Amino acid sequence: MTAEYKVNGAVAVITLNNPPVNGLGHATRSAIVEGMKKALGDSAVRAVVITGAGKAFSGGADIKEFNTPKAMQEPTLHTVINVVENSDKPVIAAIHSVCMGGGLELALGCNYRVAQKGAQIALPEVKLGILPGAGGTQRLPRVVGLEFGLNMIVSGTPVPAEKLAKTALFNEVVEGDVLEAALALAAKVADVRPLPRVRDIKIDYPNYEAFLQFSRNTVKAMAGPFPAPLKCVDAVGAAVTMKFDDGIKYERELFVELVQTTESKALRHAFFGERAASKVPDVPEDTPLRAIKSAAVIGAGTMGGGIAMNFANAGIPVKILEMKQEALDKGLATIRKNYENTLKKGKLTQEKFDQRVGLITGTLSYEDIGQADIVVEAVFEDMGVKEQVFKKLDEVMKQGAILASNTSTLDVNKIASFTKRPQDVIGLHFFSPANVMKLLEIVRGEKTGKDVLATSLALAKKIKKTGVVSGVCDGFIGNRMIEQYSRQAGFLLEEGALPEQVDKAIEKFGFAMGPFRMGDLAGNDIGWYIRKRRYVEKPEVTYSKTADLLCEMGRFGQKTSAGWYDYKPGDRKPYPSQVVNDMIIKHSADLGIERRKISDEEIVQRLVFALVNEGAYILEEGIAQRASDIDMVYLTGYGFPLFRGGPMFYADTVGLQNVVMTMEKFARGRHGEAWKPAPLLARLAAEGKSFN
């Protein structure tokens, strides 16, 4: 049963029971209507209480029904709310833990609402690119005020119930058992008539036109490419300017319009993609996990320090191992400084600061880390160095400890072979800065234990990362794809573009940073080191030599105050470099290439479709489990624009046939060999299908 019906004295209690958050799926909606009919048809029942079982009142729509016919099947949520609102017996919502989205809209349809302190109240639909579609924009401002209601709807941010205690949203906010309080209120109001209804409240806000216009201007500046926040203002405006039923109709029109937008589809894709990423078909959800109560990190550099902070932030004590006291002291001082900056900004309390700094300690001895439940190696990206570290870890680490490598490109199977326990070895590829970036690529070796993989996915959640599973290949998902993107960026320079034009074009498309600004930030010498390895291992793959020439000039990026751009002391702003531009133009001449004007559209297509094509190879080879996993890697680790949903989703919106046709055009130019469509991409395009 998705909702239980019981009679307690003269009060009928309808308890939503659809774990984990009592989502308002079709079966639950039907059960509420059924319960209401029973209560209204029973002369002994004088009032109705609606509450939720388990850990929520209701989290809103049942996400399992999104984009299915069941989502709109009668009784819809509108129908359920109408049944509740038109009841001739008082209906009381007993709210605890979570009351969000459709759950809050249902509560607003009740005559009275009692909430438990700490219950999280929200209308978060804007985060999926839509707006509350079952009266939320019309009813919430009537009970919490126009300004507060608009802020809640436009931000989608949860508010604890006690902050709303003085508003008309709640009749009572209680410390104890909310059902008891609701039953007591039901007894008090059983004979009250007429029944109070939120829809009958008038919004009194002098000069509301000026407020709504000010809100539109503010929201427009902050919403960027997303249409939903501005539509939320329009819908809330209708609560003041229209009759209630007209406002509901208008809200519905805006909702239907937003559901169809690419931006909303992209946000919903990301929402489901994040949840899907944690599921591995051959690893059951009830796989026993290894306990992670302590951690160790090898290397106190930028990456090692950032990784250690993740553990400390989650309350896990961590030891950092370095070879030299000076390097250790420097690493610990950097961590402390990072926390001090957060403290100064007011984003961290003194208590949390002390706790986190206290959880991170340093050592120069491998023996000191032997009892850690997990160790993450963050040393130089060289197989010889990794071999030394893993042989030593195999000697000192306790049985059952997880041995993880932060490698960004190297063979995790080979790393595992340096130990006598390959089942305990996994790749945990953090992204820089590791304490900020959301992505964690979890690289599953041939012999990685299922419990190790399941534990790593659970750990990702604990340290607030989006964990995406990758198979073993050169560069895994993210860096293998970015290599093709970077190759095209280099070829564009040879053919007629300059770094600033390439960066501006892709940033206008929505990327956080273009390839050349990204290179300067990460360090151009890192790419140089990898390319030198590629020249030996894959001589058939061509690269532009412009990046090598740049590095030969000693221009490694921000760390040398000179890269693709010039930098001024204490200023991270990139300034176009005449020296670099002259070098690029001369290189084209040396190659005998006549430079041409390249459009921004071509730049974007070449960079993005290079990602898409490599993503298709990765999918076909089984390195990634699903197209949405690739999108999650790019949305959370590489600054791909969220409103475009990731490279594979974006390709779907363009149409795979159009992608392949454009690639065929590029194949007729220089370096045409880079544009051979992956078999999966060619097949899906020919069949008129998509990745997702």
Mean pLDDT of 292-312: 97
Strand duo 98-100 + 91-95: pairing: unpaired
Residue 443 near residue 376, CB atoms below 8 Å: no
Mean pLDDT of 1-21: 95
Rounded to 10°, the helix 524-537/515-522 angle is 100
Mean pLDDT of 535-559: 92
Strand duo 11-16 + 466-470: pairing: unpaired
In this predicted structure, the answer to whether residue 38 has a pLDDT above a threshold of 90 is yes
Place of tokens 């500046």: 221
Task: For residue 389, give every residue at least 6 positions away whose Cβ sits within 8 Å of its Cβ, in sequence order, or none.
Answer: 298, 377, 379
In this predicted structure, the answer to whether residue 518 has a pLDDT above a threshold of 80 is yes
In this predicted structure, the answer to whether residue 617 has a pLDDT above a threshold of 80 is yes
CB 392: neighbour CB atoms within 10 A?
15
Question: Which DSSP helix (H) or strand (E) runs through 48?
Answer: strand 47-52
In this predicted structure, the answer to whether residue 480 has a pLDDT above a threshold of 90 is yes
Q: What is the Cα Rg of the chain in Å?
A: 29
Mean pLDDT of 404-431: 97
Q: What pLDDT is stored for residue 1 in this prediction? A: 77
Mean pLDDT of 280-302: 96
Which band of pLDDT confidence, cut at 50, 70 and 90, is reported for residue 529?
Answer: confident
Task: Report percent pLDDT > 70 for the chain.
Answer: 100
DSSP 53-97: STT-SB-SS-GGGTTSGGGGSSSPHHHHHHHHHT-SS-EEEEE-S
Q: What pLDDT is stored for residue 534 in this prediction? A: 83
**What is the distance between the alpha carbons of residues 298 and 585, in angstroms, rounded to a whole number?**
44
Single out the residue of 393, 435, 389, 386 nearest to residue 408, CA to CA.
Answer: 386
Amino acid occupying residue 117: K
In this predicted structure, the answer to whether residue 409 has a pLDDT above a threshold of 90 is no
Residue 632 near residue 646, CB atoms below 8 Å: yes
Amino acid occupying residue 267: L
Mean pLDDT of 423-443: 95
Residue 52 near residue 14, CB atoms below 8 Å: no
Q: What pLDDT is stored for residue 533 in this prediction? A: 82
Question: Which DSSP helix (H) or strand (E) runs through 575?
Answer: strand 571-576
Task: Report percent pLDDT > 90 for the chain.
Answer: 92
Q: What pLDDT is stored for residue 526 in this prediction? A: 84
Q: Name all domains of the chain by residue range, CATH numbers in brackets.
A: 3-259 (3.90.226.10), 295-470 (3.40.50.720), 478-686 (1.10.1040.50)
Span of 247-251, 496-500, 530-534 with lowest mean pLDDT = 530-534
Q: What pLDDT is stored for residue 64 in this prediction? A: 76
In DSSP terms, 576 is beta-bridged to 565
Single out the residue of 53, 52, 59 nearest to residue 121, CA to CA.
Answer: 59
In this predicted structure, the answer to whether residue 576 has a pLDDT above a threshold of 80 is yes
44-54: burial string, b at 16+ Cβ within 10 Å, e else: ebbbbbbbbeb
- The alpha-helical segments, DSSP class H, found in 261-301 are 262-277
In this predicted structure, the answer to whether residue 389 has a pLDDT above a threshold of 90 is yes
Amino acid occupying residue 516: F
**What is the distance between the alpha carbons of residues 658 and 661, in angstroms, rounded to a whole number?**
5
**What is the distance between the alpha carbons of residues 353 and 342, in angstroms, rounded to a whole number?**
9
Mean pLDDT of 382-401: 97
- 339-361 residue pLDDT tens: 999 999 999 999 999 999 999 99
Residue 129 near residue 261, CB atoms below 8 Å: yes
- 53-85 residue pLDDT tens: 999 999 999 877 877 888 889 999 999 999 999
In this predicted structure, the answer to whether residue 479 has a pLDDT above a threshold of 90 is yes
- Identify the sign of the CA torsion 315, 317, 319, 325: positive
In this predicted structure, the answer to whether residue 457 has a pLDDT above a threshold of 90 is yes
Q: What pLDDT is stored for residue 68 in this prediction? A: 81
Chain-centroid distance, C-alpha 489: 27
**What is the distance between the alpha carbons of residues 251 and 282, in angstroms, rounded to a whole number?**
44
In this predicted structure, the answer to whether residue 659 has a pLDDT above a threshold of 80 is yes
Q: Which two tokens stand for residue 319?
A: 């030891």
**DSSP code of residue 624:** S
Which band of pLDDT confidence, cut at 50, 70 and 90, is reported for residue 475?
Answer: very high
Q: How many CA atoms lie within 13 A of 102 on its CB side?
A: 24
- Helix or strand or coil: residue 358? helix
Q: Which residues are catalytic?
A: 105, 125
More confident residue, 65 or 479: 479
Q: What pLDDT is stored for residue 432 in this prediction? A: 83
Mean pLDDT of 139-156: 97
In DSSP terms, 120 is beta-bridged to 98, 160
**What is the distance between the alpha carbons of residues 149 and 135, in angstroms, rounded to a whole number?**
13
